[in-house]
Amino acid sequence: MVNKVTKIGVLTSGGDAPGMNAAIRAVVRTGIYHGLEVYGILRGYQGMIDDDIIKMETRSVANIIQRGGTILKTARCKDFFEYEGRQRAYDNLRARDINGLIVIGGDGSFRGAVKFSQEFDIPCIGLAGTIDKDIYGTDFTIGFDTAVNTAVEAIDKVRDTMDAHDRIFIIEVMGRDAGYIALHSGIATGAENILIPERKTDINDMIASLQEKERRKKLVNLIVVAEGDEFGGANEVHKILKEKMPHAEIRVCILGHIQRGGSPSCLDRLIASRMGFHAVESLIEGRHNVFVGIMNNKMHYIPLENAVKNKVKISEEWLRIVKILAS
């Protein structure tokens, strides 16, 4: 490993998340403050392989903190799974003497960083940028707060029409492998049922509860479903319910990619700025191959390898809250 970092690259990888631009801004300006040269790598690992790398200055990140998405773009990169692709990426970094890398992304992005840092002499720092909040070792991930607030706002609006028509609404939110958006938005909007990948749902018990409410003329019921739940999302849940409750007014609403977009919340801007600042300082201080997390409002530095090996678990407390408040 190199001892002194003088030139760093920053990239965003995987799914975009509100607040990524705030993190890029913090990395660039902190790096320049410390006398480092900072390079932006476009389209994630694909840009490393294609040599799509630009030098960044303070002005490069002006007026971006409030913007969603990522100015560096992002892309899935199959070539990075192969050694030859990683070798080309390394050669492009070394041609510019880049000797430090900051990766803003999720679990898959961290896996790439772990592999890359094991094979080559460029230390990596990870920033947890994912709306799913599924990274082990941090209380916050960049983008989650904005995404869940977007979902809450949308669900509140759907509830208005749901109440007006005495309907059951099944609302699908993002979360292929993690149910945090469904869990938080469901609790915040008073959902009667929340279906998440981390917990098996007794569908017969749920149907019995809905039928009992139907007999009591409680016709308005909200079901929030993570896209990766065991039944395969909102449309599949709708089929099951419609078969058992043919006379009920049941509608489906899939929120989709609106959860990824939009101006980041204050919280996402703050944590992204804080994480970006500490990522650069970590490289300077020689703290390599970790990701920067926040736990109990303090910075934590978790080995990248641990972050990808361990899974986030939803606490039993949250599950009890769902069960009691939805009864």
Give the residue numbers annotated as catalytic, written as ranges: 132
Strand order in the sheet with 193-195: 193-195, 221-226, 168-173, 250-254
Encoded tokens for 180:
């945090």
How many Å apart are CA 270 and CA 23, to the nearest integer? 9
How many Å apart are CA 322 and CA 306, to the nearest integer? 30
Residue 176, exposed/middle/buried by CB under 10 A (0-12, 13-18, 19+)? middle
Alpha helices in 189-301 (DSSP H): 203-215, 234-244, 266-285
Where on the phi/psi map is residue 230: left (φ > 0), alpha (ψ -120 to 50), or beta? alpha
Is the CB of residue 129 less than 8 Å from the CB of residue 143? yes
Encoded tokens for 169:
């609404």
Nearest Cα to Cα of residue 133 among 198, 67, 58:
198
Using CA atoms, how far residue 285 sits from 11, 32, 91, 113, 279, in Å, is 21, 16, 25, 19, 10
Alpha helices in the chain (DSSP H): 20-33, 44-50, 83-95, 107-119, 144-165, 180-188, 203-215, 234-244, 266-285, 304-309, 316-325
Ramachandran angles phi, psi of 223, nearest 5°: -120, 120
Nearest Cα to Cα of residue 170 among 245, 242, 93, 224:
224
How many Å apart are CA 151 and CA 155, to the nearest integer? 6
